[in-house]
Structures are given as C-alpha cells and as structure tokens.
C-alpha cells in the first residue's frame, strides 16, 4: 500500500486528514528545509489535537503549465511521501494536478481545499510559498485569508546552510555538478535513484566487472562520472561502483547508468535496484585500449573498498 493518498482536487478527504495542521508544497527532495517545516507542522498539529497533513501534487504543476521548463524531479511520489512520513507527517495527500485545479484563484484554493475540505485549524508554510492561479498568492495573502477564515497561520523561515537557504534547486545544482557529498549535507541523507536492471552489451562481464544496467530511472541523474555507491536489493545492501554517462572507449555516446556490485554473484535482470551515491571518484573519460580501461576499473573498485572500510 503506497504511503500516500491520491485525491481529486474537489474530493473530500477522509476524516483522518481533517481538522489538523496542513502544509502545501511540492516537497521535491524532502531536504533539510522541508524537514524543518514538517517539524513545525507536527508541533502545530499537536497543539490543535489533529493530524499533521502534507498536501502535494502529482504530476508536478510545471508539467502542465510549462513542460519545456520542467526538470527531472529529485524524488518519485512514493519516496517523497515515505520521507515526509519519516519526518513526522501523519498523512501525505497528493492532489491530481488538472487544468481545473491550476485555474483556482488563491482565495478559492484556500477556501475550498484547505478550509472546507480539509477543515484545517492551522496552516504551516515556508517563507517563499506561492499558490493559486499563476502563483499569484503569497505568504502575506495566505496569512490574511487564514485570519478571515478562522485558521491559525504559522510561517516557517528558510533553513540556512553556509549563509544560503536550502532549496530543491540548490540540491539540483550540486547534483548536476556531481557533488554528491554536498547533496548529502543539504538532504540529510544520501541522494538515491531507483530503476530496473535491464540488458546491456554484457561487455563488463567479459572484462571481469559485470554491471547492472539501470533502466527506467525517473529522477534526476547526477553529473557524468564514476561514483562509490551503496545499492539496496531486496533489503540487502551492497557496496559498488556506478558509472553515469556514455562509454567513449567503445565509441558509445548514449548516457547510461551502470552499477558494479562488489562481492555480488547472481542474476539481476528484471529486478529493482535502489542506488545511493556516497562519493564521486572520477570523471568519465575515454581510454586508449581495453587494458587501460581494466586497469582503471581495478583502481575504481579498490577506491570503493577503501571508502567502505
């Protein structure tokens, strides 16, 4: 059973979602800023003796409004909901994103959804929250409307790290630079991806380094390069080395995700693999011949072993 509920925007939520504290957002990545917000949400829910509800959207509104500007998400809906619950949300509700929902004015969104449907007693939002048609509503407007409707409003300041707010866009920037250690600092956990193991060229097996080719990854990939990773397979963890990018030594330009699991033997085809990024080892680069490539792969594996000790 998924850790979230999916509702139409005009659908009445179950009673377990009503009469408490609510927060609204995309919550992509569920970073340290979101963790702070959920902490305050939890406290406000306790004060009003109701549930702590995180209300989000699926798909992301930008996929309908401006698909050309949409970037891959940092977390799939199921992972996002599970993380929000780990942080303290009692209920995670995803409203199905439709043109009708996106046309709601800020006033209608608060009145019809937060007040009438969820019967929220307290609304908790971050400092830069925008909502309603064309994102015309802001925190000051939300505060005023909550007061008119008899709901308390609790603003949440930015979570600052090194003098700058932690945000999903900041996480995205460091991942696109390959800095998975910095992503760990912003998220409070290792960044991870998930996919299904598919067939590849089987070239790694012939070289002595069998790899799992990860297909159907729905989230943002870090920058091209070789990484030390931890992979989870059916509740077992394996240390490994992952390569993201093309294989220039063999003249291939397609971007792939290939994972070599140390000490693993067996068939992975068709199985789901979750991969956590621990450290970036090196750039992706071409080699003059196969012998040079194999030498580098041995060094990569030894680097992973050293990091995991």
For the stretch 254-309, pLDDT in tens is 899 999 999 888 888 899 999 999 999 999 888 888 888 888 888 998 999 988 77
Average pLDDT, stretch 186-195? 98
pLDDT tens per residue across span 133-145: 999 999 999 999 9
Q: What is the DSSP string of the chain?
A: --SSEEE-TTSPPPGGGSSSEEEES--TT--HHHHHHHHHHHHHHHHHTS-EEEEEEES-THHHH-GGG---BSS-HHHHHHHHHHHT-SEEEEEEP-HHHHT--HHHIIIIIIIIIS--SEEEEETT--BSGGG-B-HHHHHHHHHHHT-EEEEE---EETTEE--HHHHHHHHHTT-HHHHHHHHTS--EEEEEEE----HHHHHT---EEEE---BPPPPSEEEEEEEEETTEEEEEEEEEEEEGGGTEEEEEEEEEETT--S--TT-EEEEEEEEEEE-----SSHHHHHHHHHHHHHHHHHHH-
Residue-wise pLDDT tens digits, 13-26: 999 999 999 999 99
**Least trusted range by pLDDT, from 84-88, 177-181, 221-225, 290-294:** 290-294
pLDDT at 233 over 90: no
Query: Mean pLDDT over all residues of the chain?
Result: 93
Residue 244: predicted pLDDT: 96
Q: What is the pLDDT of residue 3?
A: 93
- Which residues in the chain are classed under CATH 2.40.30.30? 190-308
Please name the residue that has the structure tokens 């390069």.
225
Q: What is the mean pLDDT of residues 120-143?
A: 95
pLDDT tens string 72-98: 999 999 999 999 999 999 999 999 999
- Residue 46 has what pLDDT? 98
Residues 181-203, mean pLDDT to the nearest whole number: 90
Residue 207 has pLDDT above 70, yes or no: no
The pLDDT of residue 228 is above 60: yes
User: pLDDT at position 251, please?
Assistant: 67
What percent of the chain clears pLDDT 90, i.e. is strictly above it? Answer: 77
Q: Is the pLDDT of residue 206 over 70?
A: no
Confidence of residue 204 (pLDDT cuts 50, 70, 90): low
Q: Return residue ranges of the chain for CATH 3.40.50.620.
A: 5-165
Q: For domain 5-165, give the CATH number.
A: 3.40.50.620
Instruction: Reply yes or no on whether the pLDDT at 168 is more than 70.
Output: yes
> pLDDT tens digits for 33-66?
999 999 999 999 999 999 999 999 999 998 988 8
Instruction: Quote the pLDDT of residue 203.
Output: 59
Specify the fold of 190-308: Elongation Factor Tu (Ef-tu); domain 3 (2.40.30)
In the prediction, which pLDDT does 288 show?
80
């Amino acid at each position: 059973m998924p850790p979230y509920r999916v509702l139409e925007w005009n659908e009445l939520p179950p009673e377990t979602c009503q009469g408490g504290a609510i927060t609204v957002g995309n919550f992509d990545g569920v970073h340290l800023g979101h963790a702070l917000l959920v902490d305050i949400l939890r406290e406000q829910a306790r004060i009003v003796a109701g549930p702590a509800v995180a209300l989000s959207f699926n798909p992301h509104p930008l996929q309908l409004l401006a698909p050309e500007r949409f970037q891959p998400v940092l977390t799939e809906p199921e992972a996002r909901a599970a993380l929000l619950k780990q942080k303290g949300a009692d209920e995670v509700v995803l409203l199905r994103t439709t043109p009708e929902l996106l046309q709601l004015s800020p006033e209608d969104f608060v009145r019809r959804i937060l007040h009438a449907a969820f019967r929220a007693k307290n609304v908790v939002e971050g400092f830069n929250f925008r909502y309603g048609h064309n994102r015309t509503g802001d925190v000051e407007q939300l505060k005023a409307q909550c007061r008119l409707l008899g709901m308390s409003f609790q603003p949440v300041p930015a979570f600052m790290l090194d003098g700058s707010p932690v945000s999903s866009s900041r996480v995205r920037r460091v991942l696109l630079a390959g800095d998975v250690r910095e992503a760990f600092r912003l998220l409070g956990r290792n960044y991870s991806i998930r996919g299904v193991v598919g067939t590849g060229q089987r070239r790694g097996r012939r070289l002595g380094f069998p790899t799992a080719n990860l297909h159907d990854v729905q989230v943002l990939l870090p920058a091209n390069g070789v990484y030390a990773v931890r992979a989870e397979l059916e509740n077992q963890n394996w240390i490994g080395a992952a390569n993201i990018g093309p294989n220039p030594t063999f003249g291939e330009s397609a971007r792939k995700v290939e994972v070599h699991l140390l000490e693993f033997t067996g068939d992975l085809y068709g199985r789901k693999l979750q991969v956590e990024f621990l450290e970036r080892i090196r750039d992706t680069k071409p080699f003059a011949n196969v012998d040079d490539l194999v030498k580098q792969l041995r060094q990569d594996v030894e680097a992973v072993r050293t990091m995991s000790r």
